[in-house]
Each structure stands twice: as C-alpha cells, then as structure tokens.
Chains A and B, each alone.
Chain A
Amino acid sequence: MKSLSIRQYVAWLTLTPLLVMAVSMESFFLHENFSDLDQNLMERGQLITRQLASSSEYGVFANNRSFLKNIAQGVLQQPDVRGVLILNAASEVLIAEGAFFGAPENTAADVSATMSGMDQTQTARAGKIKESVNLQLPVYRSSEGLRLYQPIVPAQVALDEFESRAKVSQIGAVIVEMSSAHSEQLKSKVLWMTVGLTALFLIFPFGLIYLGSRNITLSIRKLSDTIRALGDGRLETRVTVSATVTELETLAHGINDMTAKLQQEQTMLQQRTDTLIEAQRIAHLGDWEWDVVNNTVVWSDETYRIFGLKPQQIAATFETYIQAVHPDDRQYVENNIRESLELARPYSMDHRILLPDRTVRYVHERIEAVRNDEGQLVKLLGTTQDVTEAKLVDEKIRQMNEELETKVQQRTKQLQDTQEELVRREKLAVLGQVAGSVGHELRNPLGVMNNAVYFLQTVLSDADDTTREYLNIIKDEINASERIVSDLLDSVRTKPPHPERVGVRELIEKTLSKYSVLSSVTVKLDIPATLAPLCVDAMQIHQVLRNLISNGVEAMPEGGTLAISAVENKQDGTVSINVKDSGTGMTTEQLGHLFQPLFTTKARGIGLGLVVVKNLTQANGGKIEVQSEVGKGTTFTVVFPV
C-alpha cells in the first residue's frame, strides 16, 4: 500500500467521508430531482391526457373530427407534448396530430391518412402506436419520452336510476405522447449544477480543513523531518514546534530529550566502537557474521584489513572468504566449516590466507553457530585473528630451539670429545709415562735380544733350517716389538716435524718398497706425475702411509685390491692421498672410535696405529678422513697443503 503524508492522510480522511456523503446526498437528490422531473412529466402527461379525454368526450360521441382536431392541436401547444391520437370505441383512429417516437416524423399524417383510405403500412404504423399502450398498460416509456393512454368515458351525471344504473362504458381513447427531451435537458442542467455545487461543497470544507490542519500537519512534518534526519544519523538535529497542540509540543520535547540521550549514547558507543576497532587493529582480530539463511556476510573493518581488502572494493561473502584462503588450506577450511555447520559446535582453526599482493598470512579462526528457538542454524559468528607474527615468532623459536639443540648436541659432543680427549690424553699421559719408561726399559733388552739373534744367525749360519727359521721368527718378533714400542712412543710423544719438499709418488713408492705386501693383495697406484710436491716431514709421512697400507692389507686377510691414488685440488691448494681397500669395512660405531687410542678391530693390534697416523698428519698440517662401508671396504684420505 502506498504510504501517504500526514497532510494527504488528513485530506484523505476528510475528503473521503465528505465525498461519500456528498456523492450519496447528491445522488439521492439527483435521483429525487430526476424522479421528480420524470414524475412531473408523467403527471403533466396524465393531466393533459385526462383533460384531452374529457374534452374529447363529446367530439368522439358526436364523431366530430374537426372539433377533435382543434382540441388535439391545442393540446400539442402544451409543453413536451409531441403527438396526440384520438380513438373511438372501436379503436379506430379519429385524429392523429404531431409525431410519435419510434415512427417517422410523418406518422401522424400517415395515421390521419389512414382515416380516409390507409394502406397496409400505414395501418401497421397506427396499429403499433395503438398497441404500445392500452387500458391495462396505460403508460409506455422509452428513451424519448412517454406514451400515455387514457380511455374516454362519459362524464357521469347522476340520474334517479337507482339500482338500474347503466354500466360505465368506454367510448374511445386518447393517446398522448410526451417528449422527454426537455426533461433530459433539465436533468443535464441539474446534473452539472449538482456536480458544480458538490465540487464547491468539497473544496470549501477541504480548504477550511487544510488551513485548520496546517498547524498540526506542519508540526507533524517537522517531527517527521526530524525523525528522518535522526534516522539518517544526524543526531544533532532538534525539532522546534510552535504548534498550539499540547501533545505535539510534548512529543517534540520528548524527541529532543530522546535525541540528546541518543546522541550521548551514540558518542559513547562510537568511542567504544572506535576503541574496539582500535583494539581489533592492535590485536589483528576481526569479527564477522554469516547469515546462513540469507547468505549475507558482514565483516568488521579489521577483518577486511586482515584479508588485505577494502569494504568499498568488494562485498563480504563466503565465497570472498574462501577465495582468500590459501589454496593449500582451502580444503581443510571448507571441511572444518562444513563440519561446524553440520555439528553446530564451536571450533577454531589456523590456516593461511593469500592476500591480493600474494602475501601469505596466518590467521586463527574461531567460529560459533547460532540457532533459533526451533534449533535451526541461522548464523555463524566468528573472529579472525592475524597470527602471522606469532607464527613467525614460533617458527623462529622453533628454529632457534633446533639450533640450540644442535649446538647443545655439538657442545655435548664437544664436551664428550673433550672429556674423551681429556681421558684419552690422561690415558695417553699415563700411557706415555708408562710407555716412556716401559719403552725405554724394553728397548734395551730388545736391542740386546736383537744383537743376540744377529750373533746367533752369524754363528749358526750353518745351522739347520729349522734353527734358522726360528731365528728369523725371533728376529721378526723382535722387530714387531720394536715397532710397537716405537708406535707407543710416537703416540704419546710426537716429535716436531722437519718439513721438506718431497714428491707424493716418491713418498708412496718408497713406503711400498719397505713394506712387503702379501701376494694375495693387488696394489694399484694412481698417482699423477703432475702432482705438486708436499712440504712435509718425509719420515713421518712414510710412517703414516705405512700404517694405512698395513691396515688395508690386514683388512683383506683373504686378499683383495689395495688402491692408492693421489689427487691435487688446486682451488684450495691441497693434495689428497687415498688408500682404499676392498676389505670387510667398518660399522659407524667403529668409525666413531676409530681414532681413539687403544681401539682396534684387529686381533693382534694394540689400537695405536691410527692414533699415530692422525697425530703425524695433523702435525704436518694435514687432516685425515675415512669412509667405510661394511662388506665393501674402507678408504682413508689424508689431505696435505701444497
């Protein structure tokens, strides 16, 4: 329904009953007037007809047509009389004057002609006029007027006939046709006059009411404008009503008071909202509301900010949210939301979002479902918190923890190594002291024993083979013991090197020349001639190479290949010497203890050889590396600066 202004409404309320009343009254009066006009026409027609009938009595009785014609013409002079027909007792037309509706204008003449010698058409016309009215139906109405029938009965003159009085008999009839044209003109005049008066009747009170209600309507319009302004948020608006209507004045005061309070509360609310927005901004916490019934989503400013959007640029919808979720997390988020909708339980989740500038941010979502009284889900309320910084901090912490852990492990290992080193050094110190004293004490007897064996071999040069064999064995064992003593002494007391330029190939070949390799072991050399010479203590490096070759050969008791190669790395200025065997190899644990003193994998070793190798290599500015795989063999690499 169309809304109306108060003035229109007042006008409507005023005009409607007035209009209804005026139209009803005027309709009634018009009906009465029209009825009166019709009735007047009818009464005049009846009067004229009765008078004509009365006047025509003698003319009809005497069949005096000239007399009747004069009467009929006189009647035609009467207003609205259109036609006159006078009939005798046999309904024969005696006189026809004027015109009749529903018939040609010359009907009367035709009918008159019928009196002398009418044809069938004329007879039919006269018959139609006569048949339209009769004693039973004395009035015939049409749009053009009235046709009235009046029987001509003799005027009764009372005679002393007593009960033998003759029955009144009809001696003829008159038919008078009254035209309604004049009545219709009057009706039209009355109608227009009535319409005009009605309009005046409506305009006058409407004007009065309009003027009278102006104070009220103006005041109400002011109130309406004020309410509209308040609705638009202009709470500073105040209304001033100068109406004489107390209720409106009270209403204006009430609105002003209410507006003042509203303005105060709005200010407070705005402050709180600003605070909340600021808090959200600081906390990177936005809120949103999803009306699942109407599929409308409302985001707070901070939510927009978190998603890198502006409210003016894009409407907040569920699709907008989903599109902003990082593609890798999208399925996860959709599953969670779907689960929340189905189970209608609060949930929270962390996921990534992809900002328009392709920046990845981390958000923490908390969602709660809201149901109506019927238990139907109506909306989802949620918060979105930008936790990117926290995530990064967590990641940093995690990395730092890992690094710390690594460092701790390294430190622990270092401490362990240090401790082990200390232990080893302590062991070595003890061993050194023991080895120094023992070695010194053993060297003399071993020297004596060696001299003695040398004497015996010289003396017993003719001895049998067994004797010579045993003498050789004693001699070998004495040599082995001397090496052990030497190693033992070298391991605890490394002599400072005396570097000199020496070729790698020379070093290797010289070492191999002094070591007898088992026949089951194949030695392969790959030593380029272009290698730069090393600046090392040749004696110490010979000992290093001899120990590595000895270990490799001993690792292949069943035989194998001992590959010795050398490579120069010109970038860092080093030369690497690799000694690779195809022996049994070592486990990782074995590798961890490989350079510890007194650790050995050999049945007859004492665990000092590699310690000596390492000590001597490092003493010459090099380093030693080892790679081993069980079942495939071990490769020792010593790297020396050129």
Chain B
Amino acid sequence: MLQAKKFVWKKIRVLLLCLLVPAPTLCWAENLKVLVVLSDNSAPYQSFANSLNNSLPALMRASVQAQHEQLPADLSEIELIVAVGMRATELAASQSSIPVLAVMIPQVGYEELLEQISLKKSPRSISAIYLDQPWARRLDFWRATLPSRRRIGLLYSPGTHIDIEGLRGNIAARGGSLIARPVLLADELFAELESVLASSDVLFAVPDSMIYSSNNIRNILLTSYRHGIPLIGLSQAYVNAGALCAIFSTPEQLAEQTGATVIYFSQTGQLPEPQYPVAFTIAVNQQVARSLGIELLSLEAIRNQMNKAKGRAP
C-alpha cells in the first residue's frame, strides 16, 4: 500500500515537471535517446535503472547497459549518457563526447574526475547528482535528532576532501563543536577513534572508504557503543549495522531526480549544474537508541525539525 502510494506520488511529480516546460520542447524531448550505463549489476544500480525508466515518459525509454570495458560502438543516436556510479562515469567521460549525467557518485569522486577530464569535455557536457547529502542537511538532521549532543566527532583520512574549518563553522553556527582527527594509517584507526570518542557526544560518518568500510564499520560501531557514543550514518546499511540514524537518498529518489534532469536536458539541450539529492530519507535504529538511552523523535518530527532549521538557515 505504501509502495503504491509512493509510486502515485512519483508519477504526479514527473507530470508536474513536464507541465513546467513549453509544449514544443515536450515534443522534442520525446525523441531523446538516452543510454544508461551501470557500473555493475548490483541491486542499487538495477533499482536505480528500473526507477529511472519508470520516471521517464513512455517514448523516452533509456537503454540500459551494464558496466563493460567499453561503451557500445554505435553511439550515433545517443544524445545523453546517464552514468550510474563512478566506474560508469569514468567510462562514459573518457570514451565519448556525448553529454554525461553522472549519478550516485560521491561529490569528492566527481570533483576528482572532473579535474581529470576537464581538458576533454566542456564543463557543460557533464554534470552530476551526488550520492551524499549536503552538509547543511546532515547538520540539520543532527540537530533535529540529537539536539543535546553538541560535540561532533569526526574521523577522516587524508584523501577525503572535507572542508574541516567550514564544517567547524557550520557546526558552531548550530551550537555545536567539531572534534576532527585525521587517520593517517589504517593501524591508527582504533587509537584515533578512541581519541575522538573520548571527547565527543556523537560520531559523524563521512564518505571515506578508508575509515567507513565494510571491514571497519562493525568494530567502529562496537567501539562507539563501548563509549556510549551514537553514530550517524550515511545510509540505511549503517542503520542496519548499528548506527543510531542516517540520512540518505534512495536509488529511487535519485532516479526520480535524474529523470527530471533528463527531461530538462531533452528540453534545453543542456545539463544543469552538479547537484545534491533533492529528496532524502531518514532512518533510525530504535534498538540502538534504547541501548544508548537516547529518546528519538519520530521521523516526521525529525523531518519537521529539519525543515524548520532549513528555513532558519542563512
């Protein structure tokens, strides 16, 4: 029932987006040839592809290609490539001059890729919809979820592009403080984690594969529990693994946003600027909350708090 409701809302949103564009453009958009290139056949990407096709008009069906070493030889009729994931994005960006819309990639990865292909592609022929949430949204989420826990601990590796000072300012603007520790070597993770947890109230996960990986997340969570410090994760998987809560965008949400962008491209012939996900999902782990003695608001209340905070944001 809930799924059907979501599906109806999705259709309505797409129709509204279509109504916003002029009629001649609509006609042109129906003929747009889109190639969706997936980095692999994993379930999130497949889900994204399916959702994208569902979100596009009936005459604008995208052909989906799982990740290969090369793009199809004949791309003469393709007008837009939707690259899902980093590997597909790198492939599409390097092997074709066709406009590329990269989705489900971290902002850091996109920026690094953009630096590599800047000489080959015009900035207007590639754009992205990030996987990660904007810091403002995450901080609003923190404030809405754990308003009493002001000290935010954060671990990052040297390869992670985080504006620590900017972040520290944003946190301070929301009444908190940032305790950030770099992890230079993998062996130092536990020590740095201990150090951070010792002076933090909440641990913020960041998209950093060196620290927050499948290998380490369990031990990080165990350590944080031992310190009574909750972890704010980056996805539903974090919540499932033991994070207190997470804010993230699902593949369906991203596909919906991508579909709108494709339609936009079909109408304007231009890609928009890289953007964060518009829609997001909030997940909490009540069991963890109970274990840590934390009382959480309802999801709706959290979302309302976030909306309020967004409205107050500068």
Residue numbers of A with Cβ under 8 A of B are 57-58, 61-63, 89, 153-166, 168-169, 171
Contact = CB atoms under 8 A, between A and B. Distances in A.
Interface in B183-218: 186-187, 190, 209-210, 212-218
B209 A160 contact: no
Interface stretch (B39-47, B119-127, B298-306): B39-47
Interface string B203-236: 0000001101111111100110000000000111
| Residue among A62, A89, A153 with most chain B CB within 10 A | A62
B78 interface: no
Interface centre among A63, A158, A160, A166 (most CB of B within 10 A): A160
A61 B214 contact: no
B156 interface: no
Nearest to B42: A162
Contact of A162 (B104, B215, B216, B219): B104
A94 to B, nearest CB: 13
Contact of B212 (A61, A62, A156, A159): A159
Contacts of B142: none
Nearest to A169: B215
B217 A157 contact: yes
A156 B216 CA distance: 8
Contacts of A63: 190
Contacts of B42: 162-163
A160 B44 contact: yes
Given A58-B222, A161-B209, A162-B39, 9 more contacts: A62-B219, A154-B214, A154-B219, A159-B213, A159-B241, A162-B85, A164-B209, A165-B213, A169-B186
B235 A159 contact: yes
A163 B43 CA distance: 12
A161 B109 CA distance: 12
A327 to B, nearest CB: 123
Nearest to A154: B215
B238 interface: yes
A163 B84 CA distance: 11
A62 B190 contact: yes
Contact of A62 (B39, B213, B223): B223
Contacts of B248: 160
Query: Which residue of B40, B216, B234, B238 has the most chain A CB atoms within 10 A of its CB atom?
Result: B216
B181 interface: no
Contacts of B45: 162
Interface in B237-294: 237-238, 241, 248
B179 interface: no
Given A89-B187, A160-B235, A166 B223 contact: no
Contact of A61 (B39, B40, B87, B190): B190
A171 B85 CA distance: 29
B143 to A, nearest CB: 24
B39 A168 contact: no
Given A62-B223, A164-B209, A158 B85 contact: no
B86 interface: yes
A60 to B, nearest CB: 9
A166 B215 contact: yes
Contact of B238 (A61, A159, A163, A166): A159
Interface string B67-87: 000000000000000000111
